[in-house]
Amino acid sequence: MPGSGTGTGNVPMAVKSTLDIVRQRFKEDEIVHYIFEAYQIQGQEYLDRLLALVSSESGGTYAIIAFSYLRTPLTTANELIINKVFALNESFQLRQDGKGSITTMQFDLSTAEDRPIKYYYYPLKSQEYEEFVAKVISCKNSMYKCDPEAVLNFSWLNDYRQIGEVKQELKKREAEYIVYKDIIIYCATWNVNNKPCCDSNSPLRSWLACSEKSPDIYAIGIQELDTPTKAMLNSTQMQATVEQWTQKMVESLYPGVEYEVLRSVRLVGIMLIVIVRKQLRQHILRCQLNSVARGVLNTLGNKGGVAISLQLHEGNICFVNSHLAAHMGYVDERNKDYNAIVEGMRFDDRRTISDHDHIFWLGDLNYRIQEPPGQQRPGPLTDAQTYELLLQYDQLGQEMRKGRCFDGYTEGEIKFRPTYKYDPGTDNYDSSEKQRAPAYCDRVLWKGTRIEQLAYDSIMEIRQSDHKPVYAIFRAKIKKRDEIKYKKVQEEVLKAVDKRENDNQPQITVETVSIDFGRVRFNEPSMQDFNVYNNCPLPVDFRFKEKDMHDICEKYLQVDPRQDSLMIDSARSIRIKLLVDVRTVGNLLKKIRTSDNFDILILHVENGRDIFITVTGDYQPSCFGLSMETMCRTNRPLSEYTQEQIKHLMRDESPEYQVTMPREFFLLIDYLHRQGSNLEGCFNAHDSRYSLGGHFNAVRDWLDTWSNEEFPGNVQTAAQALMLLLELPEQSLLEPFVEDLLASSSKSKAMDYIALLSAPKRNVFMHLCMFLREGILCQYYDLQQVALIFGRILLRGSSSSSRMDYNSRCIQFMRFFIDSDISDSALGNGHASGSGNIQAKSSTSATFSSSQSR
Amino acid sequence: MAKKTYDLLFKLLLIGDSGVGKTCILFRFSDDAFTSTFISTIGIDFKIKTVELRGKKIKLQIWDTAGQERFHTITTSYYRGAMGIMLVYDITNEKSFENIVKWLRNIDEHANEDVEKMILGNKCDMTDKRVVSKERGEAIAREHGIRFMETSAKSNINIERAFCELAEAILDKTSGRESAENPERVVIDRRNNDKAPGYNKCCA
C-alpha cells in the first residue's frame, strides 16, 4: 500500500508499518483504504496530520479521518489522536485552490457541517496526493452512483466524532430518523382589480378546487384588494372586506375536507392567506409573518410583498405573495422590488426567505411581454406554439436568465393564455384606449428541494377582474421525524452529550488525601508537601475553599499556594506548614478535643469536584494551653501522655483531681520564689510575652518532664512561662466569674466568687496572689504594674475589656488580693474568706512538699 | 437563541453512610455501569444526566458526597442549594438504616425547607444478606412522609426510576413558577389576524 511504508526503508521487519498501526485504531468491519501524510499550519507551527480514508462495511459509507500524532514515528495506535472527521456525504468537497498562497501543495476538505479545513503536503508526496485524491473521488462516486436517492448511513462515525451540542448532534444524525411525507400544496394568485368580493356570484371553486387530490395546504394571494381611500383609514371596513374574501375562499376549497385558516397577512391591497387541512394543524410548530412595503416612495405599500413562514413537521416552508411595479418599461423597478422583498423580509426568528426548505412565490409580478417592434407572427399557430412564442419575449424569463431576479427559482411550463389584461366580464383582451398588450403578470414560482409541480393553469371563466386567476399545485416531500427512531437517536445524543460533559469535567488527582504531620510539638514548626496533578485534557484551576465563611484552614496551618492553575499534564507541589505556638495552641487543643484530625481542607476544582484533604498529626501534649483542671488530672509528666490520653482528660468534667494545683505551675512559682531580689522588674515586659526566646523549648521540656535538673532558663523566661500558663488556656483563670469579679466592690464580695471556682483554679489563684504579695512587700516589683498585668490576664475575655475603666477595674480587683494594705483592711469584713485563704495556703503547701520530695 | 440544551436544571444530592453504594448508584445512573471495587469518595463528586420528563429536557446535576463520619460537618454545607436529596442505606447493614434518622435530622438542619427527599434501600439484590426488611424501610419513609424505593445499582433495579421520580416531584413543585420558561414551540396567536404587520415597520 503506498504511503504506508514511507521513510521506513531501513526499519526492521518487526516494526509495524504506519498503516498497520492506523488499522488498529478502527473496528474490524472498518477498512482503511489509504493513508496520506499532510500537515496544517497554525500561526508559526507546522502540525503533522495523517489523513485516513476509511469505510465501514456495515454502514457502506466512506469517510476521511484526520489524525494528529502524539509522537513520530508511531509505535502504537494510542498515539493517534482524532483531529477531524469528514464524512464523504453529499456535501463533502475536496477543493484544490492554491491561488495567491505560499504553495500550491494544499487542499481544503469540507462538509456542510463544518468550515473547510486547509491541509498542506510536502513536495515529495505529490505522487501520493494524486492517488489520494483519485481514491477519494472514486469512493464518493461509488456511493452515489448506485442509488442517488439512498439515505446513507454514517452513524458508524459517531464513535470517532467529538460530540457537539444536542441540537447540532440531532441535526447531524438527521438521516437516522428523518422520513419524508408527501404534502399537496395549492398555490393561487389573483389580482382582483379592486372589485368587491360579493360581485362574484359564481363561487371560486373553479379556481381553488382544481386538484385531483385534496390539498394539504392552501396559499392564496390576492392583489388590489378593494381599498378605497376611506377604507384604508377605516380598519373596521377593511376588516370586513378581508373577512368577506376569506369567507368566500374557505367556501370554495376542495370539498369534503375540513380546513382551518392558519394565518393571513395583508399589506394595503396585497393579502396572503394560508389555510391548512385541520388534521395538519397540530404539526405546524411555528408560524410567522411579515411584509415589505414598496410602491409610492417605496414605502406606501400599494406595491410590495407579504410572506408567511411556517414549520410543518421538520420542514420549513415559506409563501410569498408580491405585487411588483407595473408598466411595460419598469422591468428594473420590478427587479428592485423583488430584491427589496428578499432583502427586507425577516421573520421573528431572524429567518430570511431563503432560510426555508421549500419556498413558493406567487403574485402579480407584473412582468410583461415585450415583442420587438414590427414583429410579425408567422401564419396560424396552435395555442402551444403561441405561448411558446410569447414566452420568448416574457420579461420575467429574460430577467431570470440574466440572473437579475428570482435566482434559483423554477417555474413550471406555461400552457395558458396571458392572464392580463381583459375587459372585465369577458375573455377579451383590453379594448380600451390604452390597448395594453397581453402579459403573463400572474405567476407562481418555487425554490427548494423535493418539490414537484402537478399543475399550473389560469381560470378563464372567472371574469370580474381584468386579470385571470392562476393556480399551481405542488407535491413536496416534507421532512418528518419518525418519532420512534427520533426518540432513540435523541436518547443516544443526550447520553453522548452528557458523557462528553462528564468526561470533560476538570479533574485533578492528588498524591494523597491525608497529610500526616507525625509528632508535633508545641512551638516547633513543621511542614508537609504534596503534589496535585492535572491529568485531564484541559487546563484546570483549583483553590482551597473557605469553610463556613471562615478561613480555608485552622489558624495553626498555612497552605501555599492557596490557589493556582494547572496546565495539561502538569503538577504542582502544595506546602502545608504547621505551627502550634502561643497564638494557635488554643485552636489545636480545641480541635483535638472535638475531632480526630487537625483539619480537613477542601480542594476545589473549578467547575469540578471537591476533594477533602485530611490533616492529621500526633500532638505531644505540653502544659501550655491546657486548663488548670486538665493539668490537675495528670498523675505523671505531660511528656508521658499521648494525644488520645490528653483528649480524654480534656473531655473529663468530673471534679476529681490528682493534685490540688498543677505541678508545672507550682514548679515555676517555686523557682521564681527562690530567686529573691533577682525578680526585680521581671513582670513588666508585657508585650514580649509572645516572643519566645531560644531557651523556651528547654523550659517547656523541663516543665513537661517534671525535671529534677536545674531550671534551664532565667528569671525572665520563668516569668514569661508563668504568665503563658495562665494566659493560654481557652478559659481565663477566673471564668466563669470574670464579670462578677470585675464588678465586685470589696474583697469579701470577690472572695464569694473565688470560693465558687473549681479547686484547681482557686488554688492557683490564691497561690499566685500570695506569691505576688510577697514580691510586692519586698518591693521586687511595682504593685500597680503587677496588678494591671495579672489583672488583665486573669480577667481576660470580659465583654467590658474595651471599656475605658477596664484597666483600673482590673487593678482594683487584683489589689484586693495582692496589696497587703487593702487586704488587711478588707479582711475585717470577710473573715470566712480569710480562712479560705489560709486553707488554700495550707493545702498548696502540702502539694509542694509532696512534689518536692520527688 | 439561548445556547442551553435543556429546559430545567435540577441539583440533586446523594447522602448516607459510607459504603451504602451512593457512588455506585450515581455511576449506574450516569454511565450505566457498575464496579464492585469499593473506592471511598473523599470529597464531593458530581455527574450530569439529562432526562426527558413530560416533554421537558431536564438536566440533573447529581452530587455524590463522602459518607465517612469525619466528613459530616463539611458535607452538610453542601445541602443548601440541593433541590432533591436521596438518602441511601444498605439493606444488609442495620446501622446504615438506623442512621437514616440522623441523616434526616441533618437535612432538617442544613437543607432548604422545601427540598424533595427520597429514601433508597440499596443492594436489594443481596437477598441472602438482607437484615433490613422492605417493610421497615417503607415504615420509616411513611413516618416522615417521604418517598421510598429499594434499589440495586449492581442489578440495575429502580435506579433510573428513583431519579426520575425524584425529578418529577421537583418538577411538580417548580412547574407553577416557570411559566416564563418557554420551549421553542410557538403558540400561534390568531387574534390579530387582520392587522397588517410590518406596515408600521416599513414606514418607520
pLDDT of residue A681: 75
Task: Judge contact between A348 and A288, C-beta under 8 A.
Answer: yes
Strands across the sheet with A259-267, in order?
Answer: A259-267, A270-277, A217-223, A178-191, A470-481, A451-458
Confidence of residue A822 (pLDDT cuts 50, 70, 90): low
What whole-number distance in Å separates Cα of residue A308 and Cα of residue A345?
10
Chain A interface mutation, best of B189, B193, B201, B203, highest count of A Cβ atoms under 10 Å: B193
pLDDT of residue A686: 55
What is the least distance, in Å, from the CA of B98 to any CA of chain A? 23
Nearest CA in chain B to A243: B194
Confidence of residue B98 (pLDDT cuts 50, 70, 90): very high
Task: Please indicate, yes or no, if residue B183 is contained in any of the structural domains.
Answer: no
CATH of the domain at A180: 3.60.10.10
Are residues A174 and A156 part of one domain? no
pLDDT of residue A638: 93
Confidence of residue A85 (pLDDT cuts 50, 70, 90): confident
pLDDT of residue A836: 37
Task: Please indicate, yes or no, if residue A643 is contained in any of the structural domains.
Answer: no
What whole-number distance in Å separates Cα of residue A668 and Cα of residue A623?
12
**Contact list, B198 vs chain A (CB under 8 Å):** 265, 267, 289-293, 306
A301 touches chain B (CB under 8 A): yes
Apex CA A285: angle with CA A284 and CA A288, to 5°?
Answer: 90
Confidence of residue A798 (pLDDT cuts 50, 70, 90): confident
Are residues A207 and A157 part of one domain? no
Task: Judge contact between A223 and A363, C-beta under 8 A.
Answer: yes
Buried b (16+ CB within 10 A) or exposed e, A717-743: bbbbbbbbbbbbbbebbbbebbbebbe
In angstroms and rounded to an integer, the radius of gyration of the C-alpha atoms of chain A is: 49
Task: Please indicate, yes or no, if residue B185 is contained in any of the structural domains.
Answer: no
**What amino acid occupies position A7?**
G
pLDDT of residue B197: 37
Range of the domain at B100: 8-176
CATH of the domain at A135: 2.30.29.110
Is the pLDDT assigned to residue A140 strictly greater than 50?
yes
Range of the domain at A787: 661-851
Is the pLDDT assigned to residue A162 strictly greater than 80?
no
Q: Which of A797, A652, A812, A803 is nearest to A737 (CA)?
A: A797
pLDDT of residue A13: 46
Burial of B179 (0-12, 13-18, 19+ CB in 10 A): exposed
C-alpha neighbours within 13 Å on the C-beta side of residue B44? 26
Are residues A319 and A387 part of one domain? yes
Asked, as a colleague might, if the bond just before A621 is cis with ω within 30 of 0, I would say: no
What whole-number distance in Å separates Cα of residue B88 and Cα of residue B92?
12
Task: Judge contact between A157 and A169, C-beta under 8 A.
Answer: no
What is the least distance, in Å, from the CA of A410 to any CA of chain B? 28
Cell numbers linked to A452:
414537484
Quote the number of domains for chain A: 4
Of A127, A162, A197, which marks where a domain is finished?
A162
Helix axes B159-175, B22-31, angle to 10 degrees: 80
Contact between chains at A263 and B188 (C-beta distance less than 8 A): yes
Is the pLDDT assigned to residue A832 strictly greater than 70?
no
Contact between chains at A286 and B42 (C-beta distance less than 8 A): no
pLDDT of residue A202: 64
pLDDT tens figures, A492-506: 888 888 888 888 788
Task: Judge contact between A668 and A725, C-beta under 8 A.
Answer: yes
Is the pLDDT assigned to residue A655 strictly greater than 70?
yes
Cell numbers linked to A279:
388534521
Task: Please indicate, yes or no, if residue A219 is contained in any of the structural domains.
Answer: yes
Task: Please indicate, yes or no, if residue A781 is contained in any of the structural domains.
Answer: yes
- Comparing A100-114, A184-198, A443-457, A815-829, the range with the smallest average pLDDT is A815-829
Quote the number of domains for chain B: 1
Is the pLDDT assigned to residue A191 strictly greater than 80?
yes
pLDDT of residue B187: 41
Is the pLDDT assigned to residue A403 strictly greater than 90?
yes
Confidence of residue A315 (pLDDT cuts 50, 70, 90): very high
CATH of the domain at A525: 2.60.40.10
Task: Please indicate, yes or no, if residue B154 is contained in any of the structural domains.
Answer: yes
Cell numbers linked to A188:
393561487
Is the pLDDT assigned to residue A4 strictly greater than 60?
no
Task: Please indicate, yes or no, if residue A152 is contained in any of the structural domains.
Answer: yes
Q: Which of B63, B59, B27 is nearest to B45 (CA)?
A: B63
Contact between chains at B48 and A498 (C-beta distance less than 8 A): yes
**What amino acid occupies position A578?**
L
- For A578, the 3-state DSSP assignment is strand
What's the mean pLDDT when you consider all of chain A?
85
CATH of the domain at A721: 1.10.555.10
Give the ipTM of the model, two decimals please: 0.84
Cell numbers linked to B89:
442505606
Is the pLDDT assigned to residue A837 strictly greater than 70?
no
Task: Report the percent of chain A where pLDDT is more than 70.
Answer: 89
Task: Please indicate, yes or no, if residue A632 is contained in any of the structural domains.
Answer: no
The partner residues of A68 in beta bridges, in order of sequence, read: A81
Is the pLDDT assigned to residue A148 strictly greater than 70?
no
Task: Report the percent of chain A where pLDDT is more than 90.
Answer: 49
Contact between chains at B185 and A285 (C-beta distance less than 8 A): yes
Are residues A197 and A181 part of one domain? yes
Task: Judge contact between A110 and A85, C-beta under 8 A.
Answer: no
Are residues A742 and A666 part of one domain? yes
Confidence of residue B5 (pLDDT cuts 50, 70, 90): low
A296: DSSP letter: G
Asked, as a colleague might, if the bond just before A736 is cis with ω within 30 of 0, I would say: yes
Mean pLDDT of A675-704: 79
Is the pLDDT assigned to residue A748 strictly greater than 60?
yes
Are residues A179 and A140 part of one domain? no
Are residues A590 and A475 part of one domain? no
**Contact list, B42 vs chain A (CB under 8 Å):** 513, 611-612
pLDDT of residue B173: 85
Is the pLDDT assigned to residue A207 strictly greater than 60?
yes
**Higher per-residue pLDDT: A164 or A253:** A253
Are residues A683 and A608 part of one domain? no
pLDDT of residue A824: 45
pLDDT of residue A591: 92
What is the least distance, in Å, from the CA of B169 to any CA of chain A? 22
pLDDT tens figures, A435-447: 888 999 999 999 9
Mean pLDDT of A65-91: 80
pLDDT of residue A640: 94
Helix axes A820-827, A747-754, angle to 10 degrees: 90
What's the mean pLDDT when you consider all of chain B?
84
Confidence of residue A767 (pLDDT cuts 50, 70, 90): very high
**Higher per-residue pLDDT: B125 or A693:** B125
Task: Judge contact between A356 and A332, C-beta under 8 A.
Answer: no
Q: Which of A517, A507, A480, A274 is nearest to A357 (CA)?
A: A480
Residue bearing cell 520563668: A718
Are residues A567 and A466 part of one domain? no
Mean pLDDT of A632-654: 92
Cell numbers linked to A618:
500526633
pLDDT tens figures, B130-169: 999 999 999 999 999 999 999 999 999 999 999 999 999 9
Residues from B in contact with A at Cβ < 8 Å: 1, 3, 5, 30-31, 42-52, 57, 66, 70-71, 74, 77, 185-186, 188, 190, 193-194, 196-199, 202-203
pLDDT of residue A321: 97
Provide the Cα torsion A734, A736, A739, A744; round to 10°.
-60
Burial of A95 (0-12, 13-18, 19+ CB in 10 A): exposed
**Contact list, A508 vs chain B (CB under 8 Å):** none
Is the pLDDT assigned to residue A297 strictly greater than 90?
no
Is the pLDDT assigned to residue B176 strictly greater than 90?
no
**What amino acid occupies position A737?**
F
Are residues A544 and A443 part of one domain? no
pLDDT of residue A777: 87
Task: Judge contact between A650 and A592, C-beta under 8 A.
Answer: yes
Are residues A410 and A367 part of one domain? yes
Are residues A543 and A614 part of one domain? yes
Cell numbers linked to A127:
505522487
C-alpha distance across the termini of chain A, in Å: 96
Task: Please indicate, yes or no, if residue B13 is contained in any of the structural domains.
Answer: yes
Apex CA A776: angle with CA A771 and CA A782, to 5°?
Answer: 125
Mean pLDDT of A217-242: 80
Task: Please indicate, yes or no, if residue B197 is contained in any of the structural domains.
Answer: no
Confidence of residue A541 (pLDDT cuts 50, 70, 90): very high
Q: Where are the alpha helices (DSSP H) in A435-568?
A: 483-503
What is the least distance, in Å, from the CA of A497 to any CA of chain B? 9
Regarding beta strands A315-323 and A358-364, do their DSSP bridges make them parallel or antiparallel, or are they unpaired?
A: parallel
- Comparing A23-27, A280-284, A372-376, B81-85, the range with the smallest average pLDDT is A372-376
Task: Please indicate, yes or no, if residue A85 is contained in any of the structural domains.
Answer: yes
In chain B, % helix, strand, coil (3-state, to 5) comes to 35, 25, 40
What is the least distance, in Å, from the CA of B146 to any CA of chain A? 29
**What amino acid occupies position A281?**
R
CATH of the domain at B37: 3.40.50.300
Contacts 24+ apart (CB under 8 A), A161-170: A161/A85, A162/A82, A162/A500, A163/A496, A163/A497, A163/A499, A163/A500, A165/A497, A165/B3, A165/B5, A166/A490, A166/A493, A166/A494, A166/A497, A166/B5, A166/B50, A166/B57, A167/B5, A169/A493, A169/A496, A169/A497, A170/A489, A170/A490, A170/A493
**What amino acid occupies position A830?**
G
Candidates B42, B47, B202; nearest CB to A301? B202
Handedness of CA A669, A673, A678, A683 (dihedral sign): positive
CB-based contacts of A734: which residues, under 8 Å, 6+ apart? Answer: A741, A753, A754, A757, A761, A765, A794, A795
Asked, as a colleague might, if the bond just before A123 is cis with ω within 30 of 0, I would say: no
Centroid of chain to Cα A18: 39
Task: Please indicate, yes or no, if residue B181 is contained in any of the structural domains.
Answer: no
CB-based contacts of A627: which residues, under 8 Å, 6+ apart? Answer: A650, A729, A730, A731, A760
Regarding beta strands A610-619 and A178-191, do their DSSP bridges make them parallel or antiparallel, or are they unpaired?
A: unpaired
